[in-house]
Structure 1
Amino acid sequence: MMKTTPERRFWLIELLTNWEGRITCGHLQYYFNLGRQQASKVINQYLEANPGHLIYCTSAKSYLPATDFKPTYISHDVAEYLNWISGQSPQLPLSDDKYQLAHTILSPPARNVSPHIMRPLVHAIRQGERLEVDYGAVTHPDRSGRIIVPIRFVNTGRRWHLRAWCEKAQGYRDLVLSRLHGTPNPEGKVLSDLPPDTRARSRTFFSQLSYI
């Protein structure tokens, strides 16, 4: 989240320059209610802090990304731009639809998870305990019991799941919360030290999730 007005202005400069290929004084005037002279000053302040990032094109009457343009205020994730242009960004909410692009927003299906499932999971994570759970795995949709050691909750961007040590598989697995059934039963403290969950610290963790 941008904390100061200069950061928010620099964020918009980079967002539009990176994803739309240009930034104008008009953009800053519109979004920040600035005069043209003040908007031009903001762009110059950005260039002072980031020399060589923008070049002015007289024919387009816009600042374009230079060869050395390397954004530092945006995340480089296209979702950041798409969320903003569709009016969903907390960074700089769009006040109207003047600059919005045509878009459709689909809500993901609700994941119905009972509090009777969540409470034992939370307790087990906090206390380092084992649980017996009733889980409908992809390979065994008819559900099967297994003893797990819950480690952490992980959000993949689409849904939440549980990272846990599975005694049955003798490895770390990722359990979709909505596939848990009944009420997990406590099985006491972890019997021995668990091996390191090295994949969870890997940059490719989310492309290597081990769902069961």
Structure 2
Amino acid sequence: MELKDAIRNRRSIRKYLDEDISYEDILEILSLGILAPIAGNISHYYFIIVKDPEKISKISELAGQDFIKDANTLIVIISDDNKLKSLYGGKGQIYAIQDTAAIAENILLSATDKNIGTCWIGSFDEENIKNLLEIPKDKNIHIIISMGYPNEKPKESIRPNLYDIIFFEKWGNKVYKPQFYPLFKNIKNITDYFKRVFEKI
């Protein structure tokens, strides 16, 4: 699958087939996940692969999301935020969130490439999940990703028209200036042109 197809096909999947995802596929997905950009090139993140149905069911309860219990695998993304805070102060917390989010997106796209459905879970009882998985108190759970082979046709993704959210050179400016974009200098009505292009994406 080409990258652009994986991006277009990725959806949040909440219904899964009763089929096992191999550790080989999971490890390949995680190996691509950690190629995401991270602040200062500092390794501060960890993963827990959860396949035990009892633990998955308990995490489903602690997240208040019933669909999670039917997932074959959960990936719990953990960060030692203090590693970044010691270098970047208060910004370290923000960088930890950004880093794990970038890693998570790589995981979602890599799973999509293998026709594995995923859902990004950001709301959960962190302290009780830490206790369940014996995660040290000084570590933070940022994201949980549920995984399974899809058993549903995903809904269409609703996104704004790209033209409506792009400005040129400064906030609010919709005026195209050919000197900045010479490729389009011979096009008379650039606004209509961009609208047509964006509608095709």
**Which TM-score band (shorter chain)?**
under 0.3
Higher helix proportion: 2
The TM-score normalised by the length of structure 1 is: 0.22
Higher strand proportion: 1
Relative contact order (alpha carbons < 8 A, sep ≥ 6): 1 or 2 greater? 2
The TM-score normalised by the length of structure 2 is: 0.23
